[in-house]
């Protein structure tokens, strides 16, 4: 059994990942911000941990993480609150989490980032440009750390039921991906520790999740 600390656990991917991991017999500790989120996380099989990422310092967050084997960062402002909130959550929040994991001695760190081609061919707002800039800066901050990191860059997220079939690799064509399959991929990466210090782009495809992740582990 692995103990996983999820930042952004109340989000669309975080909730799915919490349940997926709990169903597999792992221990899940789930950081949440709003009181009404606590029961939902318990029902998913997670142990809720109350805390606001934008208000926590690294030492406090490290104390929450202590004893975990893996940190998953899937928090994001989701465009709410404008550039300031994106900077605080997706940017500074990630940097705080990296520092906290280092202090807590949790070496394995998975980050849900953004596909580089997101928005290509569309009219892009300044808010979205800032979002993509902050996401890239977060990727750089994690990749330059001493942690055992994996950066997952899913394509356009959709709420269709997962198929369990994906395309994954360091550079693949852009496309959609059900959130169910993002969660399944994260869970599989956690269970395959040989997947390390790699950036993975992810879309729907025709390869079973486990097989696709095993192929990356062998590279």
Q: Report, as residue numbers or ranges, the catalytic residues.
A: 131
3-state secondary structure of 30: strand
Ordered alpha helix ranges (H), 24-80: 37-43, 58-65
Please provide residue 101's backbone torsions phi and psi, each rounded to the nearest 5 degrees.
Answer: -60, -40
Question: Any idea what DSSP says for residue 150?
Answer: E
- Contact between residue 49 and residue 66 where contact means Cβ atoms under 8 Å apart: no
Angular region, 52: left φ>0, alpha ψ -120 to 50, beta rest: beta
Which contacts qualify for 175-181: CB closer than 8 Å, 24 or more apart? 175/203, 175/204, 176/203, 176/204, 177/202, 177/203, 177/204, 178/204, 179/12, 179/13, 179/16, 180/16, 181/209
- Taking CA atoms, 166 is separated from 41, 202, 209, in Å, by 26, 7, 6
């Amino acid at each position: 059994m692995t103990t996983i600390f999820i930042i952004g656990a109340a989000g669309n991917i975080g909730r799915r990942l919490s349940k997926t991991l709990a169903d597999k017999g792992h221990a899940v500790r789930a950081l949440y911000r709003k009181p009404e989120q606590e029961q939902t996380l318990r029902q998913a099989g997670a142990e809720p941990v109350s805390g606001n990422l934008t208000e926590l310092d690294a030492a406090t967050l490290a104390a929450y993480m202590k004893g975990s084997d893996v940190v998953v960062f899937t928090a994001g402002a989701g465009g709410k609150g404008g550039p300031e909130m994106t900077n605080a959550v997706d940017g500074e929040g990630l940097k705080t989490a990296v520092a906290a994991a280092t202090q807590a001695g949790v070496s394995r760190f998975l980050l849900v980032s953004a596909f580089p081609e997101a928005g290509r061919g569309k009219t892009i707002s300044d808010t979205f440009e800032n979002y993509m800039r902050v996401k890239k800066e977060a990727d750089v901050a994690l990749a330059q750390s001493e942690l055992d990191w994996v950066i997952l860059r899913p394509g356009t997220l959709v709420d269709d039921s997962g198929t369990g079939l994906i395309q994954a690799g360091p550079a693949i064509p852009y496309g959609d991906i059900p959130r169910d399959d993002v969660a399944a991929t994260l869970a599989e990466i956690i269970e395959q520790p040989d997947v390390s210090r790699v950036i993975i782009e992810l879309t729907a495809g025709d390869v079973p999740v486990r097989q696709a992740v095993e192929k990356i582990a062998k590279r």
